[in-house]
Amino acid sequence: MSDKAHQVCINPDCRATYSLDEIIFSCSKCKSLLDIVYDWDRLAVPRSLEFFEHRWGTKGRTAAGRLDFSGIWRFRELLPFVPEDSIVTIGEGRTQLEQNDPLARHIGMKPGKLFLQYEGLNPSGSFKDNGMTAAFSLAKRLGRTRVACASTGNTSASLAMFAHKSDPPMQGIVFIGSGKIAYGKLSQALDYGALTLQIEGDFDACLRRVLQASDRLGLYLMNSVNPYRLEGQKAIMYRVLEARDWEVPDWIIVPGGNLGNCSAFGKAFRELHDLGLIKRIPRLAIINATGANTLYQLVTKDGLRWNGGRYDRATISGLYAAMDESHYLPHTIASAIEISRPVNLPKALRAIDIMNGLVREVSDDVILEHKALVGKYGFGCEPASAASVAGAHMLFDEKVISPGETVVCILTGHVLKDPDATVMYHMGVDMKHATPPPQVTPTGACSNSPKRVPDDLEAICAALGEK
Ligand SMILES: *Cc1c(COP(=O)(O)O)cnc(C)c1O
Ligand SMILES: [Zn+2]
């Protein structure tokens, strides 16, 4: 199988090729990112997307039934880099696309036009499971037994879960810094038994050290420079299409952090289109938080474009030098996208090119407002996820999205990942440090704080609107 897929440098002036067996996370000639590229002519590709429907009913103890049950591997012909008996799957990717009319109405859109893709419904509570199942499968095939990442967030939660659920189990190793940590996520890494190293340094230090340690000790690296993770994340788009009876929407809107997800979406649609499985490619909107807006700066402000892979590297190094000079640190309540040097930046530029995409930024206040709306009208999400809905709202107000268009917002993580942010928004205080809770009036338009009532039935009934 491996001679029908390769790792290929994305730089058009290099295009160095590496076999799948080579453990390498950037081109050894030019340092660019790598892609997984398939020799589709020699692979069995379904002639239409309807092909995948026959797998819906299967859940079984058989090997094929296990793969059909997964929302990633039921599309295995579209990510054929690993033999079926190496696949590590725990039933990830069984997520849901919801048509949400109340939310559509709230932001001025017509009913039937706004859809929410709940990736928080994955086993570890975020979309990261889509990519982990793919990268773990390759790790298993290569006989790796120790896997590592630097993350204080959903990557470490997902890695820790897949490590102990693999057969045989692998050792999950998580490097965390001494910065801020959402307890929902850290608690998962600890509970799932990952060996957690708290480094006396920030996230950048962790990433640097995990790269060095992986090199020296042969740990298999699971940060999103790992191109197999993006192969798995393509399936999010397959499921969006599947839920719409294979009808392509007009817009895909996604928060942008390290830019792996949007990159995977671009690759998914490029391949589907080239294979003749779809006729049209949707547009892409990537939403940054204002406090971590590197992509917005580069693309929307500075006009940086993919340009066939010959993008203007000086624009990027200029921005990074200015950030260094001012000791810039990203800062946003949406911790999952609090990233200033996104590793997948070139691939994101390519995705913007493929999908006629654009980039916007939204403030933390607007993010929290839209998070509360997703909670009020849907199943909720974590702060970073709500950036997509805030972005949809903004683009609709700007008339970039027109009323007749269909919009899919990716909700990347579960509402319980970061309960502190939710409680802070609704109650206006950090409850963990408030004893007794002070009576404050939160200022958010959607705040829903508890009413204080004496321990008295009459007062309780009065508070409930009865005489
Ligand atoms: C990782 C993550 C993101 C950012 O995704 P990228 O692929 O890094 O852009 C957004 N939201 C949540 C909840 C995440 O866990
Ligand atoms: Zn190269």
Read off the CATH number of the domain in which 382 is found. 3.40.50.1100
Q: What is the pLDDT of residues 398-441, one digit of tens each?
A: 999 999 999 999 999 999 999 999 999 998 876 556 555 556 66
Q: Where are the beta strands (DSSP E) in 320-390?
A: 358-362
Count how many domains the chain has. 1
Ligand that comes closest to the CA of residue 9: 2
| Burial category of 454 from C-beta neighbours within 10 Å (exposed 0-12, middle 13-18, buried 19 and up) | exposed
Residue 431 confidence (pLDDT): 58
Q: Is residue 453 part of a domain?
A: no
DSSP conformation class of 402? -
Residue nearest to atom 5 of ligand 1 (CA): 257
Site to probe by mutation for ligand 1, drawn from 122, 231, 261, 349 as the one with most ligand atoms within 8 Å of Cβ, is 261
Q: What is the pLDDT of residues 358-404, one digit of tens each?
A: 999 999 999 999 999 999 999 999 999 999 999 999 999 999 999 99
Site to probe by mutation for ligand 1, drawn from 126, 149, 222 as the one with most ligand atoms within 8 Å of Cβ, is 126
Q: Is residue 382 part of a domain?
A: yes
> H or E element: which one contains 117?
strand 114-118
Q: Is residue 350 part of a domain?
A: yes
Site to probe by mutation for ligand 1, drawn from 129, 154, 388, 415 as the one with most ligand atoms within 8 Å of Cβ, is 154
Distance 6 CA to ligand 2 centre (A): 13
Residue nearest to atom 1 of ligand 1 (CA): 336
Those residues whose C-beta lies under 8 Å from the C-beta of residue 455, and which sit 6 or more positions away, are none
The number of the ligand 1 atom at minimal distance from the alpha carbon of 382 is: 13
Which residues lie near ion ligand 2 (Cβ < 5 Å)?
A: 9, 11, 14, 16, 27, 29-30, 32
Q: Is residue 114 part of a domain?
A: yes
Q: Is residue 31 part of a domain?
A: no
Residue nearest to atom 8 of ligand 1 (CA): 258
Pairing mode, strands 283-289 and 34-38: unpaired
The ligand 1 site (C-beta within 6 Å) comprises 126, 128, 153-154, 224, 255-261, 336-337, 382, 384-385, 412-413
The number of the ligand 1 atom at minimal distance from the alpha carbon of 339 is: 8
- Across the chain, which has 467 residues, the per-10-residue mean pLDDT values are 87 98 94 97 96 84 88 97 96 97 96 98 98 98 96 92 95 87 89 94 85 93 94 98 98 97 98 98 98 98 98 98 94 92 96 98 97 98 98 98 97 96 86 59 83 93 88
Q: Is residue 80 part of a domain?
A: no
CA distance 274 to 251: 19
**Do 117 and 125 touch, CB atoms closer than 8 A?**
no
CA distance 222 to 209: 13
Residue 383 confidence (pLDDT): 97
Q: What is the pLDDT of residues 241-280, one digit of tens each?
A: 999 999 999 999 999 999 999 999 999 999 999 999 999 9
Task: Residue 363: name the closest of 257, 255, 290, 292 by CA.
Answer: 290
Ligand that comes closest to the CA of residue 418: 1
- Three-state DSSP state, 405: coil
Q: Is residue 310 part of a domain?
A: yes
**Do 254 and 412 touch, CB atoms closer than 8 A?**
yes
Q: Is residue 199 part of a domain?
A: no
In terms of residue numbers, what domain contains 303? Answer: 96-123+230-427
CB atoms within 10 A of CB 380: 21
What is the C-alpha radius of gyration for the chain, rounded to an integer number of angstroms?
22
- Three-state DSSP state, 74: helix
